[in-house]
């Protein structure tokens, strides 16, 4: 896994550092008690693209960095295939603390942490958010429609958050799901979703 990107000294980075400090003190749910590190997120504060996952797994918890386990390796390959590096984009999760045994986070663990994610997104103000799988898609779009139906179709951040309203969202399959169902068809679907994003931000194929 590539080293963590160096933290810049821009105003956006300064604001992100402030939020990170607050998140480090957060005890709004019980997850902090059982995890090793808070996984805040990392990347370019000026990123045009933000990837949003569900919650840290074992390796992420150990290193304090998002997507550095097996799913992270695949995500990194996908990012590189788009013609960019992890340090060009930003990666975060809805939940910043690992749920025990990698279970799915509960609603009362997602809700307070979603607020942290929204703060991050308000600072970065990306052009596109890529939600990876159901939990991230549901948390940001306020929907319960499944990822199989939503993926590949542009969505918008809802009006309930005036600072983010209208930002384009591309839901796609989570890389951990892709690893479990590594079919030609699923890989083609994810690549097609990423190509839509590339077109939107002006990345050449």
Binding site for ligand URA (CB under 6 A): 53-57, 60, 66-67, 69, 71-72, 93, 176
Q: Which residues pair with 130 in a beta bridge?
A: 51, 170
Q: Which residue is nearest to ligand URA (CB)?
A: 53
Residue 69's CB: how many other CB atoms inside 10 A? 22
Phi, psi of 172 (to 5 degrees): -145, 175
CB of 15 to ligand URA, least distance (A): 22
Structure tokens, 203: 């990345």
Sort strands 49-53 and 128-132 into parallel, antiparallel or unpaired.
parallel
The CA-based diameter of the chain, rounded to the nearest angstrom, is 44
The C-alpha atoms of residue 13 and residue 46 are separated, in whole angstroms, by 9
Q: How far is the CB of 159 from ligand URA (least distance, A)?
A: 26
Between 56 and 126, whose beta carbon lies closer to ligand URA? 56
Q: How far is the CB of 93 from ligand URA (least distance, A)?
A: 5
Bridge partners of residue 101, in order along the sequence: none
């Amino acid at each position: 896994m590539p080293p963590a990107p160096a933290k810049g000294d821009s105003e956006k980075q300064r604001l992100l550092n402030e939020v990170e400090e607050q998140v480090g003190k957060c005890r709004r749910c019980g997850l902090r008690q059982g995890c090793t590190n808070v996984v805040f997120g990392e990347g370019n504060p000026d990123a045009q693209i933000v990837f949003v996952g569900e919650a840290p797994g074992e390796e992420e918890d150990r290193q304090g960095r998002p997507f550095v386990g097996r799913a992270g390796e695949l995500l990194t390959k996908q990012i590189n295939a788009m013609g960019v590096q992890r340090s060009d984009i930003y990666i975060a999760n809805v939940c910043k603390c690992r749920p025990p045994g990698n279970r799915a986070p509960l609603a009362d663990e997602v809700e307070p942490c979603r607020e942290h994610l929204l703060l991050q997104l308000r600072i970065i103000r990306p052009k596109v958010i890529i939600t990876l799988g159901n939990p991230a898609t549901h948390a940001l779009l306020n929907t319960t429609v499944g990822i199989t139906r939503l993926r590949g179709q542009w969505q918008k951040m809802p009006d309930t958050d005036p600072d983010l309203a209208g930002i384009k969202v591309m839901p796609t399959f989570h890389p951990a799901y892709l690893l479990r169902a590594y079919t030609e068809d699923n890989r083609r679907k994810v690549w097609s979703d990423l190509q839509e994003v590339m077109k939107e931000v002006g990345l050449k194929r």
